[in-house]
Structure 1
Amino acid sequence: MNAQKIILKIIALFSVVRGYNLVVLILAQYLAALFIFAPEVSHRQLLTNPRLDGIILCSILCVAAGYIINNFYDLEKDELKRPLQVYLQKQVSQGFKLTVYILLNASALIIAGLISLKVFIFFLVYQFLVWFYSHKINRFALIKNFYLVIIRVMPFFALLVYFDNFTFNLALHAVFVTILFLITDIVKDLTSQKADLIYGYDSIPIKYGIDFTKVLIAGLLLIDIIIGFIIIYKNDVGAMKYFFIGADFCFIIIFLMIWKLKTSQEYKILHYFFKGMIVAGVFSIVLIEINPLTLQTIAQNFNQRIK
């Protein structure tokens, strides 16, 4: 096998495990640990903690394995939705994917077992839930959306298991992010109606109709807007409150305009927007330690120097 084929297979495997999503997840978990779960602990102490590193590594391995098994079951549907991406992913065989899937899950369990029995049980349950979603749940409308969101936020519950530090502020963040994931997933169903219909996958738009789907999205947006206002009012998230201000402003606009969206392309743009909002939310976590009053003082000092 020449070097070009090896590189192509590596790129194909990276596409199968959604490597870009894994990078965002790594950042999200470390930032959440640093600024939300344990803000009183020094950054250096956290970043050099092998137990925390092990939990995050277990999460990444399990999520990567989850993408592989989901790809294994959904390959036909994805050929219609993302033909170029599927063509690339076919550069690695189904047998090889299953081998990597088993190795990733086994490695995660070994690492989890070295950390603690509680962490081992958590990831064992997580792996089963991911497999069960791909094997059974992903064909059932509405149920699959809520189920998938639970799976997506579970890596952060792994941090909760480790830190054992649940606060009202953390609960608000968790609900806001969970609803944002749910909205993103429901909008994704709007973009894949044709493929879902052809391959017999139940989705909310197919089973309950477009109007019901939009009402559901609008209701979830309204809940997130309210939670955003509460977080802003509490004013204990530092400069991250500007993310929530921006998010609420955008959600209000989408709440008003979603009824006018009709085409698949418009739904795709909306889906990419929500995915971008998730990424923006991850990076804005670092702003928690930046106090707006400090920024105001810096700006005043800068203006005085200019004068």
Structure 2
Amino acid sequence: MSSIDSNSIPENKQKSIFIKILAILSIARWYNIFLITISLYTIQIFIYDSPLYYLFHFQGINLHLYVLSIDLIVVGGYLINAFYDFEKDMINQPEKTYFNRLVSKRSCLNIYMICNILGVFFTFFINNNILIFSILLIIALWIYSHKLRKKVLLGEITASLLLISFFLGMAVLNQKFDFTLAVFCTYIFTIDLTRGVVKKMISLKGDLIVGEKSIPIYFGIKNCKYIIFFLMISSMLAILILLPIVFFKLFSYYFVIAFFIISYSIYLLHHAKNKSQYEKINSVYKILIGLAIISIVLY
């Protein structure tokens, strides 16, 4: 009997460690990390015209170190945000939060520190510009988490700017400004910001309970819908600017499709009255962002 018990103890520990690793991956939003990783590599290959073998060549080491650094810093950012959002997430996403709760707050902070230290360490081997960029990014994420995250609208704007900063960092890495990348980042900024505001409409109940002044609470639901509408129109304007640049490339097909998807989203917004309807718009924009990243291979 004792031998069975002694064998089951390490087995249970292994299961516990495995579950905690899954919880950390969930908190760190592994799917977003995966999309960021893919997008950075595709930008290098297709927008900066690097041949595929570049990824396996000695010259590609800087790119790999940059991607690894960004991934680690972003993981740290998600962990510190989850640390402060626990109470609200318990209301808006109770099942997911209970799972994430398997990782203690202390562990979140420790992993956050380790990720940032490693992120800076890897950029040290690239160049001083990227090193400074990574340090500034960590500081910006810290300011966002501690000061700006709960600021009405400013929090969402900052989060979207931080997202496109990962892509604009490619210009720093390559020491070359690309106008198409800049406009593409502007487009990504508008659709990510739109989704951010839509998510505030979804989390309205949780924000009311914890007393957080979110966009729909501060401006009112009607005005919040106008803000979302304005952002959707902004995305369509960004598409109209991009289309002449990429008109003769397969890349243009995505923007034509995206234009109609956003038009459909405006229709959904007009009729949206409850949480499930805003969740539908959020799902549409998730697909839009995912397709945007995949479409880079058509450039």
> Under a length normalisation based on structure 1, what TM-score does the superposition of the two structures give?
0.89
Spell out the pairing of 1:1-307 with structure 2 (5 A cutoff).
2-36=13-47, 38-39=48-49, 41-48=50-57, 49-236=60-247, 238-288=249-299
Q: Which runs of 5+ in 2 are unaligned?
A: 1-9
Deviation at 1:237, TM superposition (A): 6.3
Deviation at 1:226, TM superposition (A): 2.2
1:12-39 per-position Cα deviation (integer Å, ceiling 9, x unaligned)? 1111111111111100111111111x11
CA 7–250 in structure 1, closer or farther in 2 if over 3 Å, else same = same
Contact 1:112 1:120 in 2 (8 A): yes
Q: Which shifted more, 229-238 or 265-274?
A: 229-238
Report how many residues are paired. 286
CA 257–78 in structure 1, closer or farther in 2 if over 3 Å, else same = closer
Separation (CA, whole Å) in 1 of partners of 2:280 and 2:165: 27
Amino acid in the other structure paired with 2:263: I
Deviation at 1:46, TM superposition (A): 4.2
Deviation at 1:7, TM superposition (A): 1.1
> Under a length normalisation based on structure 2, what TM-score does the superposition of the two structures give?
0.92
Q: Which shifted more, 131-140 or 232-241?
A: 232-241
Separation (CA, whole Å) in 2 of partners of 1:182 and 1:124: 24
Separation (CA, whole Å) in 1 of partners of 2:243 and 2:277: 30
Instruction: Give the corresponding residue for 2:7.
Output: none
Percentage of matched positions with identical amino acids: 28
Q: Which shifted more, 123-132 or 221-230?
A: 221-230
Instruction: Give the corresponding residue for 1:291.
Output: none
Contact 1:138 1:201 in 2 (8 A): no
Separation (CA, whole Å) in 2 of partners of 1:110 and 1:3: 30
Separation (CA, whole Å) in 2 of partners of 1:255 and 1:178: 18
1:248-270 per-position Cα deviation (integer Å, ceiling 9, x unaligned)? 01112222341210100111111
Separation (CA, whole Å) in 2 of partners of 1:47 and 1:279: 26
Contact 1:81 1:195 in 2 (8 A): yes
Deviation at 1:221, TM superposition (A): 1.3
Separation (CA, whole Å) in 2 of partners of 1:184 and 1:23: 19
Contact 2:23 2:100 in 1 (8 A): yes
Deviation at 1:200, TM superposition (A): 2.2
Separation (CA, whole Å) in 2 of partners of 1:113 and 1:16: 27
Amino acid in the other structure paired with 2:234: I
Deviation at 1:236, TM superposition (A): 4.6
Q: Which runs of 5+ in 1 are unaligned?
A: 289-307
Contact 2:265 2:284 in 1 (8 A): no
Amino acid in the other structure paired with 2:81: N
Contact 1:9 1:91 in 2 (8 A): yes
Deviation at 1:98, TM superposition (A): 1.1
Separation (CA, whole Å) in 1 of partners of 2:199 and 2:175: 34
User: What SS does structure 2 have at the residue aligned with 1:213?
Assistant: helix
Contact 2:76 2:115 in 1 (8 A): yes
Deviation at 1:76, TM superposition (A): 0.8
CA 47–149 in structure 1, closer or farther in 2 if over 3 Å, else same = farther
Separation (CA, whole Å) in 1 of partners of 2:123 and 2:153: 32
Contact 1:17 1:68 in 2 (8 A): yes
Separation (CA, whole Å) in 1 of partners of 2:114 and 2:98: 24
Separation (CA, whole Å) in 2 of partners of 1:88 and 1:200: 24
Deviation at 1:271, TM superposition (A): 0.7
Separation (CA, whole Å) in 2 of partners of 1:216 and 1:94: 35
User: What SS does structure 2 have at the residue aligned with 1:108?
Assistant: helix
Amino acid in the other structure paired with 1:84: E
Amino acid in the other structure paired with 2:37: I
